[in-house]
Amino acid sequence: MRARLTRTLLHPLTKPALFLLCLLPLAGLVVGAATGQLGANPAEKLIRELGEWSLRLLCLTLAITPLRELTGLATLVRLRRMLGVFSCAYASLHLLAYGWLDMGLALADIATDIVKRPFILMGFTAWLLMLPLAATSFNRAIRLLGARRWQLLHKAVYAVALVGLLHFIWMRAGKNNFAEPAVYGVILAALLGWRVYRRATR
C-alpha cells in the first residue's frame, strides 16, 4: 500500500493535478460571481471565502510534515511547497478583493482602515509574513540563502498561522460567531502541538 502511494506521489501528473485542485475554489467563486450565485452580499462572500481558503491551504501545508512522519511517505514533502504558495496566492486575492470591492482601491482609506481595525491589521501582518516565504519557495532561493538560513526563514509559517487565526477570530467576533474559528484553532493547535511534542521528545 505504501509503495503504491509512493509511486502515485512521484507520478509526473501528481503536481499538475494538485495545481488544478487548488484552483478549483477560485474557479467556483469566479463562476458564482459571474452567475450571481454568491448570495445577497457577493463582495463579502468573495472576500470571506478567499481568506478561508488561504487558511485551509495553510493548515494542509502544516499537515504535510506530521503526515509524512506518521505514514512514512517521505514523498509527501513534494506537495508542501505548492500548497504553501497557493495559500499565499489566496491570501493575496483576499487582500485584493477587500481593497477593491470593500474600499474601492482608495489607498489612503485602506491604510487608515488597517491602522484602526485590529483584525485587518492582523490579516495584513499575516500576508506580509507570507510574502518572503512564497518568494523563496523555489530551489534557487535555498541555494542562495543556504539550507540553514532558508529553514529559519520558513519557520515564520508558524507565526503566519497564529496571526492569521487571530485575524479570523477577531473578524468573526464582530458577529459573535466563534464556531468556525474554533475548528481552525483546534486544527492548528494539534498541528503546532505535535511539533512541540516532537521537539521535546527528541
pLDDT tens readout for residues 134-146: 999 888 888 888 8
Concatenate the DSSP letters of all residues of 97-158 into one string: HIIIIITTT-HHHHHHHHHH-HHHHHHHHHHHHHHHHHHT-SHHHHHHH-HHHHHHHHTHHH
The answer for residues whose C-beta is within 8 angstroms of residue 197's C-beta and 6 or more apart is none
Instruction: Give the domain ranges of the chain.
Output: 2-201
pLDDT tens readout for residues 112-161: 999 999 999 999 999 999 999 999 988 888 888 888 998 898 999 999 99
pLDDT at 23: 97
Under 8 Å between Cβ of 94 and 50:
yes
pLDDT at 109: 93
Residue (of 184, 145, 156, 144) closest to 168 by Cα position: 184
Indicate if the pLDDT at residue 10 is higher than 90.
no
Indicate if the pLDDT at residue 62 is higher than 80.
yes
pLDDT at 5: 79
CA separation for the pair 197, 15 (Å, rounded): 31
Under 8 Å between Cβ of 64 and 79:
yes
Under 8 Å between Cβ of 14 and 8:
yes
Indicate if the pLDDT at residue 2 is higher than 80.
no
Q: Which residue has the cell 523555489?
A: 138
Indicate if the pLDDT at residue 202 is higher than 80.
no
- The count of other CB atoms within 10 Å of the CB of residue 126 is 26
Instruction: State the alpha helices, DSSP H only, in 155-178.
Output: 156-173
